[in-house]
Structure 1
Amino acid sequence: MNQFITINDRKMEVVQKGENGVPIFILPGMGCSFEEWFEVTEALSKTNKIIMFHRPGSGKSEIGEEKRTTTANAEEMKQLMEMLEIVDPVILIGHSYGGLCAQHFSKLYPEKVKALLLIDSTSEDLERLDELELPVLRGNSADNKWLEDFQNYASMNEEETRKIIHPELAENQKKLPTHIQRQLIQFRQKPNLYKAMISEFVNFKIDAKMIKKLGMLSNIPLVAIGRDKNYVIQEGVSRGLPESELLMLENMWQQLILEQGKLSKRSTVKFAKSAGHSIHLDRPDLVISTLKELTED
C-alpha cells in the first residue's frame, strides 16, 4: 500500500509490501518508477518485507530546492528507516543511478546493510565512459539537448506536460498489469520529475568521485548483475547504430561491472543473458533467485 511519510518537511511516497523476513529496500534508476518492480516484488513479498520510495520530485514525492545528490538520498533513506522503525540490517538493491545511491549509503552506513545487490549499476568510475570516442552515440543522446528538453518540461505545469509527453512503454513494461502501465505513463508526465533528473544528472559525476574516495565496502556480501553485452549490441545495430561504437561502449560498461566485484571481499558478479539495462524487467527470474540466495546467506 502506498503511503506518504514526511522527510525534511516534505512528503515522500513510500510503498511497503510483505510483512516478514529480512527487509529489502529497492532504489530505482534515474527517471524510473518503483512500479517497474511489480513482478519482482510480488514474488519477494511472500517471504520478505519490501520497501520502495520515490526520491523527491519523482512520482508523488514532493521536491524542494536543494541539490539532488547521492548524499541527499542516503540521508533521506536513513531517516526513512528510522521513521519506519527498521533497526535490523537490510538488503539493499540499486538499479542504474539507484545503484550509485546504494553504494554511497552502504559506505556511509555499513552497519545498516546486510547485503547489496547492484543491477546494471552506475559505476563510481563512470567518468571512464566519457573517454570513449563515440561520435554517433553521443550525437544521438547529446547532453545539452537532453537538458534543454528537460528544462522545458520542468518549467511547465502537469496539464501542459500531459499534452506533449506521451511515453512509449518498453515491451516488458507492456506485460505488466494495466493499472501499473497507466501509472508508469503518468509518472513520466510530471514536471517535477524532470527538475529532479536535471539535478541528479548535473551532480552524479561529482558524487561518483566522492563515493570512490570512501574506499571499499569491507565484508558486506555484494552481487553485481550486468546486462548482456551481445544482446545490447544486437538491439542497437537493429536500430541503425554503429556496431563498432556499441562494442566499445559495452566492453567498457562490462569492465566497470566486473570491477564492482572488487568493492567488497565477499562479492559475486553475474551477467544476465538476454537482458538490457532494465534487468529487473528483462530477467526478473534472475533478480528473484539472486535475492533469495542473499536472504538465505
Structure 2
Amino acid sequence: MILSTIIRNTLGTVGFPFTLWNLAIERKNKVKPPGQIIKTKSSEVHAIVTGEGPITVILEAGFSSISIDWCYVQPEISKVARVVSYDRGSYGWSRTKRRTMTSLDSVEEIKDILDHLKIQPPYILVGHSFGGLSMRLFASMYPNEVAGLVLEDAAHENQYMLSKENINRIKKFRRLVTFGYITSLVGIPRMLKQKIGRKFLAKEYDESLEYIGYTLGAYKSVYREYLDAEESAKQLLNAKPLRSDLPVIVISAKKQPEAWRQDQQLVINLTNNTEQIEADTGHSVHLENPEIVINSILKLIKINS
C-alpha cells in the first residue's frame, strides 16, 4: 500500500489542477449524514441508530456498501427493536485512522460503538455478502452476547483465499481497486463515473450516493478492504466454532454463479440450529426482496422475546 500511496500522491501533485477540481466537487456535493458521528479510539464512525427495545439488531453491509444500504430493512425492524447500522472504515461519512480493514477491525469498531452508546446484549447480527464474515467473527468472539445470526447471501472465506480457483479473479479485482485508489485524488474515477457502492437506492438517497460514491475515503477503503480480504478470511478460519445451538438463518440467492452457490452449502452447516432460505433474487436480497430479510430478522426476534 505504501508504493500505491506514493504513486497516488505524486499523481495528485503532478495533476494539481485536477486534484483541486476533484476536491472542490467533493465539497460542493457534500451531504449531511443521516445518522450520528461517534468518536471511537481509532475512528469517527457514522452510525444510524433507530428504534428501541431489549434486543438490538446490528446490520453489516456488504463490500463497498454502507449504512443506508439498509434503507428498506432498518425502518421496519425499528418498529420492534433497536437497530444499528454503520459505515466501515472511511466509507460513507466515517473516517478512520486504522491501518487495516479486516473483519476483526469491523468487530472492534462495532464493540466501540456499542460501548459508546451503552447498548447491552443480546444482539442479533445481520451480515450481507462480505459483511457476513465480520458478523460470524463477532458471534464467535462473543458467543454469550449473540442471540441470533442472519447471513444474507454471505460470502464464505473461500472466496478470498489465494487458491488456484480464485487467484485470477482476485488479482484482476485487486488491479481494479488499486487503479481506483491511485487515480482517485485527481478525479479520474469521477470523470469515468465509476463510483463506489450503490448506484441506486430509494430516491431520497440520490444526493447522498452522488457524494459518498466519489469520496477519497471510499476509494481508499475499497482498496484497503480488498487487500486485507485474505487476512479476514484467515481470521474466520482460525476463529472458534459458533455456539452449537445459535439460531442462524442463511438466505441464499438463486441467481448466483455455481461456485458461490456451492459455498453457501458450507455456510448452512455453521450450527445445529441453522436453516436455509433460497431467494429467487440476485445477490442483494435486502434490496430486491427486502421482506425475506425483514421476516428472517423478525423470526429471530420472536424466538428471543
Instruction: Find 2:285's aligned residue among 279, 284, 287.
Output: 279
Unpaired runs of 5+ in structure 1?
Answer: 233-249
Q: Would you say the 8 A contact 1:261–1:269 is kept in 2?
A: yes
2:20 maps to what in 1?
none
* Gap change, CA 1:77 and 1:170, over 3 Å in 2: closer
1:240 maps to what in 2?
none
Q: Aligned partners of 1:214, 1:77: CA distance in 2, in Å?
A: 18
Instruction: Find 2:177's aligned residue among 141, 144, 147.
Output: 147
* Gap change, CA 1:59 and 1:170, over 3 Å in 2: closer
Q: Would you say the 8 A contact 1:68–1:196 is kept in 2?
A: yes
Aligned residues: 269
What amino acid is aligned across from residue 220 of structure 1 in structure 2? L
Matches within 5 A, 1:156-195: 156=186, 162-165=190-193, 167=195, 173=200, 176=202, 178-195=203-220
1:127 Cα deviation after fit = 4.8
2:76 equivalent to 1:43: yes
Give SS of 1:197's match: helix
2:86 equivalent to 1:53: yes
1:126 Cα deviation after fit = 2.3
Give SS of 2:251's match: strand
Q: Aligned partners of 2:41, 2:70: CA distance in 1, in Å?
A: 26
Runs of 4+ in structure 1 displaced over 6 angstroms? 168-171
Q: Aligned partners of 1:148, 1:199: CA distance in 2, in Å?
A: 9
Pairwise CA RMSD: 2.6
Mean Cα displacement is larger for which, 206-215 or 193-202? 206-215
Matches within 5 A, 1:10-21: 10-21=43-54
Instruction: Find 1:257's aligned residue among 264, 282, 288.
Output: 264
What amino acid is aligned across from residue 75 of structure 2 in structure 1? E
1:14 Cα deviation after fit = 0.8
1:53 Cα deviation after fit = 0.8
Give SS of 2:70's match: helix
TM-score using structure 1 length: 0.82
Q: Aligned partners of 1:77, 1:84: CA distance in 2, in Å?
A: 11
1:222 maps to what in 2?
248
Q: Aligned partners of 1:45, 1:129: CA distance in 2, in Å?
A: 40
Give SS of 1:58's match: coil
1:152 Cα deviation after fit = 2.4
Instruction: Find 2:275's aligned residue among 260, 265, 268.
Output: 268
1:133 Cα deviation after fit = 8.3
TM-score using structure 2 length: 0.80
2:217 equivalent to 1:211: no
1:221 Cα deviation after fit = 1.1
Instruction: Find 1:84's aligned residue among 112, 117, 133.
Output: 117
Give SS of 1:11's match: strand
2:131 equivalent to 1:101: no
1:216 Cα deviation after fit = 1.6
2:153 equivalent to 1:120: yes
1:20 Cα deviation after fit = 2.6
- The percentage of counterpart residues that share the same residue type is 22
